[in-house]
Structure 1
Amino acid sequence: MPSTAEHDGVVFCGADPLTVAGGQSNAADRQPVLVDPNSYGKPAATADQPFHLPGPHNHGQASLFEDDEPTPLERSQESQLARGATATLTPTRYIEGGNRQAVAAAVKAVLDLDATQAILTLPLDYQWFRSPGDLDYLITTLADVAHIKAIGLGAGGNPLATKGTVTALRCLISSLDRIALIRTDLAGLDAYAHGALFAAIGMQTGMRHIKPPGGGGPSTPNNRNVTTMVLHPQLMDYFKADVLQVRYGKLLGLLCHCSVCDGRSLLRFGHNYSDQEEADRHNIATWLPWAEDLQGATAGDDRIEVWRQLCYDAVQAHQDANEQLRNPDAFKAPRWLKTWAGLPD
């Protein structure tokens, strides 16, 4: 979650993150760099194979250091460091809801890795946050793990859309030390406000949560190849570019004063690569000041209150926008935003 210089960082992800990181690590200006192994689209994690590893020895992680020859898991970590990573993310497969054996296997394997260098990646299906027993299991199992735990949420749609998920995620974050949230959206700011070490907010939709194995990529409108998502500054939510154009029509310009837009209208964006790239930069320029506000607040209740007030104002802004548009149904505050604002789920 970048903000001021000492907090900046980048997580490379996508189809070939190692190659991208190797080609751009020098441009990171000595900021922290992580490489997302992108192991989530493979078969789901099992007790025998919690990780996606190269080579024929893709299992048996219980004996990581029995031989002098580097194990597949060690090679995975070394390849990230060789491409400029500050620390390493384990290539953990997607963990289906309630698969406690897979979590236990991943935890057992990572205990042999250097806790100052290796981060335990846990791509968890949102169903983990639907069962109090499963949530308690995660908290108990991870409590004594010295490594940073990087949580990612998985679902076919938005994992925060299900009742209770936001509250349960907060509970996990606030109950553990050395925890982070990756592959996320503005939920990363909520996690940071409630004690996470860091958060990695994805530039595009496919990087803002994890798809289950076989879940496919994000849909595109009218079979076009690009979907431009725009972060509405007042509403604190992402919208497709054409949705904003339809809802605002020609009545309002929806001017934005972020460092990228500089007073131009958010309705200018279309579904093409150049507009998507500029919208991505607008999105970062929009949430960056919120991150800086959180980092400027004292950790704990003060930081939580700063975040709660930002979200409460955004909930109220939905009503203001509807009044401006003279359409009471134009915008509805999403469940997660209301929960962040301290309103009933």
Structure 2
Amino acid sequence: MTQQPGDHLPRTRPAWELLKDKILVHTRTGIRYGKSPVLAAGEHDGIILCGAGALTTADALHRQAVEPWTVLVDPNCYDQLATADAPFHLPGAHHHGQGSLFEDDEPDPLGFDQTVQLRRGATAGLTPTRYIPGGDRRAVRAAVRAVLDLDAEQTILTLPLDHRWLRSSDDLDFLVTTLADVPHIKGIALGAAANPLATKGTVAGLRRLITGLDRVALLRTDLAGLDAYAHGALFASIGMQTSMRHVSPPGTGGPPRPTDRNVTTVVLHPQLMDYFTCDVLKDRYGNLPAPLCHCGVCCGRSLLRFDHDRTDQEEANRHNIATWLPWADDLQRTTAGAERVEVWRRLCRDAVMARQELRHELGDPSAFETPRWLKTWAGEPD
């Protein structure tokens, strides 16, 4: 058979070995000035690419890299609801717009979709699963039945779950029972109009799901990916852009964007362990001395220097990655189990204390209120 794109990629190990203990950067594919913004972010474990051109970019990264890259491709089919009859987005064998990679027609659209990803350089294939509404068990069963026909060593079952799945004990029992015997990696992506973990009980529910399954990953998330990894997730991916830090339910249109500007710059505050828009940071600090950051991007400069423009947004994205990378490294260097959980809990407790001290400095007990998820990560009940 004629050599096909991606045949240069050796896959002698299953995906769960290749992806184990990795914290990936989840990013849109967007290219500016001839290079991907994620490539300027420094050292990290790999990336998940989302958006037009993701397949082509994944293939190019593998071909150009001196050492093999860990690359996955997010099919990004979350603007459609999964159903029992159609859990996946499979409009046809050529829906990627890449043309056929094979000499013969492929009778299995789902298998074809996975093979396209693998031959374009992906470390494993992510299933193009549509958004699964809270409690829709028939859609979950349909996705599970279909994926069992695919190679478990090269396929990740993507599960874009509405956050309401985490609030029902019965639904969580169903998920754990239904997914327990699925040998594939289960890639959980949480959906909500805002932060999926903002509602009472959702952090505990997510931990229950993570600890109840083998070969499970948390995708397209924020620092919740580190909490999931600390509690036993195989790997996680943290979004570089705000839209890559959770899945938006169909019809919500994604996170709201201010009407008076085209760019929103979001900054991860190292001491507070939270993301803030740059104008919110400036407003809340008021007359206090500007907080300084010593990550590899900031090098001691102020966190208040950022504005809502494209250049600052890209630099803030690099700062965000450079900020959480050392936390990920600390967890990866720590023995899995109670020791790793305690390292993570200690980081979060320090952030809770930093917020209390900052409120005292500001003389405002309502400023920088500790979010529910951070309290739970730090060891308080959810």
Same fold (TM over 0.5): yes
**Candidates 257, 268, 286, aligned match of 2:294:** 257
Q: Contact between 1:15 and 1:38, CA under 8 Å: does it hold in 2?
A: no
Distance 2:267 2:232 in 1: 27
Please show how residues 206-285 of structure 1 align to structure 2 within 5 Å.
206-285=243-322
Secondary structure (helix, strand or coil) at the match of 2:276 reads: strand
Q: Which amino acid aligns with 2:331?
A: L
Of 304, 314, 339, 1:302 maps to: 339
Which deviations, in whole Å up to 9, do the C-alpha atoms of 1:148-171 show, x marking residues without a partner? 000000011110000000000000
Give the partner amino acid of 1:274.
T
Q: Which residue of 2 aligns with 1:166?
A: 203
Q: Which moved more, 1:321-330 or 1:141-150?
A: 321-330
Indicate the structure whose relative CO is greater, using CA pairs within 8 Å and at least 6 residues apart: 2
**Partner in structure 2 of residue 128 of structure 1:** 165
- Distance verdict in 2 for CA 1:254–1:57, change over 3 Å: closer
Query: Aligned with 1:98: secondary structure?
Result: coil
Query: Is the 2:193–2:254 contact (alpha carbons within 8 Å) kept by the matching residues of 1?
Result: no
- The answer to whether the aligner puts 1:157 opposite 2:194 as a matched pair is yes
Amino acid at match of 1:38: N
Letter in 2 for 1:150: G
With the length of structure 1 as denominator, give the TM-score of the two structures.
Answer: 0.93
Q: List gaps (5 residues or longer) in structure 1.
A: 59-66
Aligned-partner Cα distance in 1 for 2:86–2:222 = 29
Letter in 2 for 1:315: V
The one-letter code matched in structure 1 to 2:61 is Q
1:2 Cα offset (Å): 4.6
Match of 2:233 in 1: 196
2: CA distance between counterparts of 1:98 and 1:147? 22
Residue identity opposite 1:40 in structure 2: Y
* Distance 1:233-1:242 versus aligned 2 partners, 3 A rule: same
Q: For 1:304 and 1:271, locate their aligned partners in 2 and report how far apart those are by CA, in whole Å.
A: 36
Residue 30 and residue 328 in structure 1: after superposition, are their counterparts in 2 closer, same or farther (change >3 A)?
same
Aligned to 1:61: none
Q: What aligned pairs does 1:314-329 form with structure 2 within 5 A after superposition?
A: 314-329=351-366
Matched residue SS, 1:211: coil
1:31 offset after TM fit, Å? 2.3
Deviation for aligned residue 1:7: 7.5
Partner SS for 2:240: coil
**2:328 is the counterpart of 1:291:** yes
Measured in 1, the distance between the counterparts of 2:217 and 2:170 equals 22
Kindly tell me the number of residue pairs found equivalent between the two proteins. Answer: 335
Q: Percent identity?
A: 68
- Inter-CA distance 340–49: structure 2 relative to 1 (3 Å threshold): same
- In structure 1, distance between residues paired with 2:94 and 2:322: 44
Query: 2:65 matched to 1:48?
Result: no
Residue-by-residue CA offset, 1:182-238 (whole Å, 9 max, x unaligned): 010000000000000100000011000000111102222343111111000000000
Q: CA deviation at 1:27?
A: 4.5
1:218 counterpart SS class: coil
TM-score, length-scaled by structure 2 = 0.84
AA aligned opposite 1:159: P
8 Å CA contact 1:57, 1:72 repeated in 2? no
Aligned residue in 2 for 1:39? 77
Alignment of 1:104 with 2:144, yes or no, is no
Deviation beyond 3 Å, 4+ runs, structure 1: 22-29, 67-70
The residue that corresponds to 2:33 in the other structure is none
Q: CA-to-partner distance for each residue in 1:44-69, whole Å, 9 max, x for gaps?
A: 000010000132999xxxxxxxx983
RMSD: 2.0
Distance change (3 Å), C-alpha of 1:240 and 1:68: closer
Paired position in structure 2 for 1:80: 117
1:120–1:149 Cα contact (<8 Å) kept: yes
Asked if 2 retains the 8 angstrom alpha-carbon contact of 1:235 and 1:315, the reply is yes
Larger fraction in helix: 1
**Cα distance between partner residues in 1 of 2:222 and 2:351:** 16
**Match of residue 369 from structure 2:** 332
Alignment partner, residue 28 of structure 2: none
CA deviation vs aligned residue, 1:259-316 (integer Å, no higher than 9, x gap) = 1000000100011111010000000010000001101110000000000111111111
- In 2, the alpha carbon distance for the partners of 1:173 and 1:140 equals 13
Q: 1:30 aligns with which of 65, 68, 81?
A: 68
Aligned residue identity for 1:326:
G
Whether the aligned pair in 2 keeps the contact of 1:97 and 1:125 (CA below 8 Å) is yes
Moved more, 254-263 or 315-324: 315-324
Cα distance, 1:15 vs structure 2: 4.3
Distance 2:107 2:357 in 1: 59
Provide the C-alpha distance between the structure 2 equivalents of 1:128 and 1:111, rounded to a whole number of angstroms: 22
Change in CA separation of 1:111 and 1:57 when aligned onto 2, cut-off 3 Å: farther
SS at match of 2:197: helix
Residue 159 of structure 1: SS of its match in structure 2?
Answer: coil
Partner residue, 1:63: none
CA contact (8 A) 1:125 1:154 kept: yes
